[in-house]
Amino acid sequence: MINYLIKKQRGYALIVVLLIITIIAIITPPLISKIMNGALQYKKAEQNIQLEKLREMGITYIKSVVNESVNEINTEADALDNPTAYKNKVESYILQVLPEFQITKKFNKSENQFRLIINSINLDTSNRIVITYQITPSIKNNVDEKYTSQEEIVIRLK
């Protein structure tokens, strides 16, 4: 009896195997697509985080340069009375640190960098020095202008 059942399968095993292969072939491409999409999204998110950190480094850098110049100038008594002289001293100090009012800082041989350009240093009507600058972060020397940010620092004079 068992021999008869084994011989009577009539190709059902082949149909089951083909059905399983078809199901696997239908399910696999969407799974692979989701895995690849997840990896791409992770890479893009990591790149955006790196660009934001580079931008923040540029802001921190220029703020430290301006703070150093203000501290240096505040030790000199003659510049404190005249706002125009104070502004000129700030300009000359920044020019010593940032030749041509711009600099590109690279980090750890990783080709990550930020470019800092000072657009203007102005004295406004309320005796404030306004420094306008732009920072452009880049990863692997690929500069994308959409990540460029315009910033300003205000120095209030007494």
**Do residues 112 and 138 make contact, with C-beta atoms less than 8 angstroms apart?**
yes
pLDDT tens, position by position, 12-64: 778 888 999 999 999 999 888 888 888 899 988 998 898 899 899 999 999 99
Q: Which amino acid is present at 38?
A: G
**pTM assigned to the model:** 0.73
pLDDT tens, position by position, 106-156: 877 777 888 899 999 999 888 899 999 999 998 887 777 788 889 999 988
Of 151, 57, 142, 63, the residue nearest 107 (C-alpha): 57
**Do residues 63 and 153 make contact, with C-beta atoms less than 8 angstroms apart?**
yes
Helix (H) or strand (E) holding 108: none
